[in-house]
Chains A and B, each alone.
Chain A
C-alpha cells in the first residue's frame, strides 16, 4: 500500500517538463496531469469501491428480476437472471397497495420540499440581508437547535402533532420537517455571500424587500437552494422512525412503512422483498442522478466559502 499514489501532484513536475519539450500526446495532458501508472491504480481502487457501493444494489435488482424457478442463493446463481421477469414487481402490488404508498410518500415529500423552499428562503434572506433588533437572538436560537438530536424530542413532537389533531395523517408526518433549521442556516449562509454593494444599489434604485429577494437574492442562492431541495426530498422519502410513530392506519402508510409488511408476509420469497426494496430505491436514485451535478457543485462551493 505504501506506494499507492493517493495524491495528484506526484508526477506533475516531470510531465510539465515533458509538455514543454513538445510531443503532441504529452502536451495534451498538460500541467497537473497523471502518469499512466497512477491512473491505473486509481481506476483499480475506484472500481473496488464501486463494487462495494453498488454491488449489493445490483445483486438485489437481479434477485428482483429472477423468476420463481431460478436459484437465487446457491453457487449456480449468477448476477444476470436467466429468464428476467417483471412479475415480482406486479406481485408486490398484489401484496401491498404499493401505488397508494408511493402516492403518500410523494405527498409528504412535496409538502416538505415546498415548505423548506419558501420558509427557509424567507428566513435566510431576512437574517442575512436585513438589519433588525433581535436578529442575533434569532440566529442564536436556531443554532441552539443543532445540539438537539431529533430522536430525543420525538415523543414530545408526537404529542404536539397529536394535540394539533394531525396524528395518523400525512400532514402530521410532513409538518415537523417542513421548515428545517439546518436549511435556514444553509440559506442564511448562502445569502451572506452576496456582496453588500449589489443590495445597496438595489435599495437606491427603490427596490423593496420582495423585489430584492426575487431579483438579487434568489438567483444568487440557487445552488444552495438545490441542496436544500435534494436533502429535504431525500429526508422525507427515506424517513422511517417518524412516520412509524405518527401513522397507524395502513391506508396512510408511506412507502418505507408499507415495506415492513412485505417482510412479514413474504419472508419466504426474497424476490418479492428485493422487488419492493427496488421500488423504493429506484425513484430516488433517478432523482439523485438527475441532480447530482448541482449537488456536487454545491459541495465544492461550500469548500470555497469555508
Chain B
C-alpha cells in the first residue's frame, strides 16, 4: 500500500535541497573556481590566473603566522578543553539541590556572543584593566602587562577567552555521553575499593572515549576557524604587525573593499578547508575502527 504520492517527499525536501545547493555546494564549487581567478569584491572583469594565488599563498608570511597561531591554539586548548569540561560534567551530572541553577549558569558564556565576551575581556585585560590594576597594586609587576598588544600574550589572551567560552559547550556534550557510562561498572569498582579519582580515570574516561575524540576534533577545527576573539582583542587588526591574525581574519580582510582580492581569499579558503579536513578524517577513521 502506498501511503503517499510520488512527489510528496520531494515537495517536503525541496527547500532543504534548494538551500543545500545554494548555500553549501554552489559556494564550495565557486570558491574553488574563484581561487584560480583575480576576482574583486567590487565586481569588474575577472581573469583566470592559474595557480598564482596558491603559489603566492605559500610564500605569504601572514599565512605562515596564522598557521603558527592555530597550532599554538590547538596545543593549549586541546588538553584544557577535553578534560576540564568532562570534570564539570561529572560535577553537574548528579541531581543535587540547585543543580539546574549551576548547569544553566555554566552554559551562559556559551550563549553570549563572542563580541560581548571579547568586549568584556577587553575591560579585564586592558593595560588599565582589572587584572593589571590588581597585579600592580599588589606590586607584583613594574609596568602594566601588555595582554592585548604583545605578540604572544594576545594569542594567549584569545585562547583564555576561547577556553572560558568553551567549557559549558563541551560540558553539555559530556553530559549526554555520561548517560551511557555504565552505573554497574562504577559500583563494581567502588566495591573493589577504587577511590573516586581512580574510578574517574578507569571507568568514566574510558566510558566517554567516543565523546572525547569528538570533542578533540571539534576543538582542532574550531581553533582553525577562530575569528571574533582575536579580531576584537587586537582591535580588528591582528595586533602589532597583524601577528595575532587567524586564518579567517586574513580571509575576511581580503573579502572587502578596494584592496580586496576574492581570488586570493578563495585560495585561502580552499587551504583552510583541506587543513580542517585532516582532523575530520581522523575522526572518521576512529569511528570506522570502533564500529
Chain A residues at the B interface, C-beta cutoff of 8 Å:
1-10, 12-13, 34, 39, 42-43, 45-46, 49-50, 52-54, 56-57, 59-60, 63, 73-75, 118-120, 122-123, 125-127, 130, 132, 135, 138, 141-142, 145, 147-160, 175-176, 178-179, 181, 184, 203, 208-209, 234, 237-241, 244-245, 256, 259-260, 262-263, 270, 273-274, 276-277, 280-281, 284-285, 288-289, 292-293, 296, 299-300, 302-304, 306
Contacts and interface: CB of A to CB of B under 8 A. Distances in A.
A73 B112 contact: no
A289 B22 CA distance: 35
A292 B103 contact: yes
Nearest to A164: B22
Nearest to B138: A75
Contacts of B93: 8
Interface residues of B, number: 107
Contacts of B80: none
B30 A156 contact: yes
Contacts of A288: 104, 107-108, 111
Interface stretch (B127-135, B150-158, B237-245): B127-135
Contacts of A57: 108-109, 112, 120
Given A156-B34, A256-B113, A203 B119 contact: no
B145 interface: no
Given A159-B30, A181-B24, 6 more contacts: A6-B87, A39-B96, A156-B266, A158-B255, A184-B16, A273-B123
A129 to B, nearest CB: 9
B272 A149 contact: yes
B91 interface: yes
B119 A119 contact: no
Contacts of A152: 28, 31, 269-270, 272-273, 276
B66 interface: no
Contacts of A238: 111-115
Contact of B16 (A119, A130, A276): A119
Given A46-B102, A289-B104, A203 B3 contact: yes
Contacts of A304: 179
B197 A153 contact: no
A130 B276 contact: no
A148 B133 contact: no
B8 interface: yes
Contacts of A149: 221, 224-225, 272-273, 276
B288 interface: no
Interface of B: 1, 3-4, 6, 8-10, 12-13, 15-17, 19-20, 22-31, 34, 39, 87-88, 90-94, 96, 100, 102-109, 111-116, 119-124, 128-130, 133-134, 137, 164, 167-168, 172, 175-180, 183, 186-187, 190-191, 195-197, 199-200, 203-204, 221, 224-225, 227-228, 232, 235-236, 247-248, 251-252, 255-256, 262, 265-266, 269-270, 272-273, 276-277, 280
B96 A53 contact: no
Contacts of A132: 6, 9-10
A179 B16 contact: yes
B133 A49 contact: no
Contacts of B272: 149, 151-152
A118 B180 CA distance: 32
A6 B200 contact: yes
A73 B104 CA distance: 29
16 contacts: A1-B197, A5-B196, A6-B90, A13-B190, A50-B106, A57-B120, A60-B120, A138-B13, A147-B280, A149-B224, A152-B28, A156-B27, A156-B269, A240-B227, A277-B119, A303-B175
A202 B103 CA distance: 40
Nearest to B10: A132
A125 B3 CA distance: 14
B183 A9 contact: yes
B9 A135 contact: yes
A158 B23 CA distance: 9
Nearest to B274: A152
Contacts of A274: 119-120, 123
A123 B15 contact: yes
B15 A60 contact: no
A263 B137 contact: no
B16 to A, nearest CB: 4
Contacts of A273: 119, 122-123
Nearest to A203: B3
A181 B175 contact: no
